[in-house]
Chains A and B, each alone.
Chain A
């Protein structure tokens, strides 16, 4: 019922090669092509990893939302395996956002951390994703763990909406990077470096999602074999 699809196995190595080559190109654009920002200086270059990591957190939670709703609807473990993969990827990217943010914030704002709305709701998201992994580990059976984790996945998606709106609703100090309809007056090289890094992060997300999904499918097969052996 849940063996790894062939196309997924076949796509892993090309994806790995493409991501690695893309990362080298993106780093070249960040450090040798894009200019240093005048006010913040060198530390602004953290933007090229911090923002795409945040976007990939959103992407992971979107996949998690689909997996969670589909699992609750169908009770098909393949959807739960997709949720497991998205949760682990989301936890990784969200963790990177929460670590690179303060490293950038310290020289830019003068503090490592502030209980500002967007930062706090992002920390809440990380806790929700970590909780989804923990409930799976500690639940009495797979079905109960999957159900509870699916509910947490839906809560994580609601939290994403609050994160997006936090700056607007609570007037926090976190800058809004993309305002719809706003005029942008930035060096084209900055846009090129950001665009390339975002593409590479999409590839990295797909690669990590594929690897974690394959692993979840393998564990599922191991569980079924354990039952077949009567252990």
Chain B
């Protein structure tokens, strides 16, 4: 019993799953960083405006 196709798909699914998980994490992190930068700039502008 060789079952090379099952072996191939078992590993392929793992790598696709890992790549998808990492892509989701990186994308979400970049979005959060952009949002943070925008808000920090806005907060700085408000501080400058009030002083």
Contact = CB atoms under 8 A, between A and B. Distances in A.
A191 B46 CA distance: 62
A106 interface: yes
30 contacts: A41-B2, A42-B2, A42-B6, A42-B7, A43-B1, A43-B7, A45-B7, A46-B6, A46-B7, A49-B11, A92-B17, A96-B14, A96-B17, A99-B13, A100-B10, A100-B14, A103-B6, A103-B10, A103-B13, A106-B6, A208-B25, A214-B29, A215-B29, A218-B32, A218-B36, A219-B32, A221-B36, A222-B35, A225-B36, A225-B40
Contacts of B4: 42
Interface residues of B, number: 26
Contacts of B29: 211, 214-215, 218
A212 interface: yes
B10 A49 contact: yes
A41 B3 contact: yes
Interface of B: 1-4, 6-7, 9-11, 13-14, 17-18, 21, 25, 28-29, 32-33, 35-36, 39-40, 42-43, 46
Interface string A197-231: 00000000000100110110011011001101100
Given A95-B17, A99-B13, 15 more contacts: A41-B1, A41-B3, A43-B1, A53-B14, A96-B13, A99-B14, A208-B21, A212-B25, A215-B25, A218-B33, A219-B32, A225-B39, A226-B39, A229-B39, A229-B43
Contacts of A41: 1-3
Interface residues of A, number: 32
B42 A229 contact: yes
Contact of B39 (A39, A50, A99, A222): A222
A40 interface: yes
B43 A228 contact: yes
Nearest to A37: B1
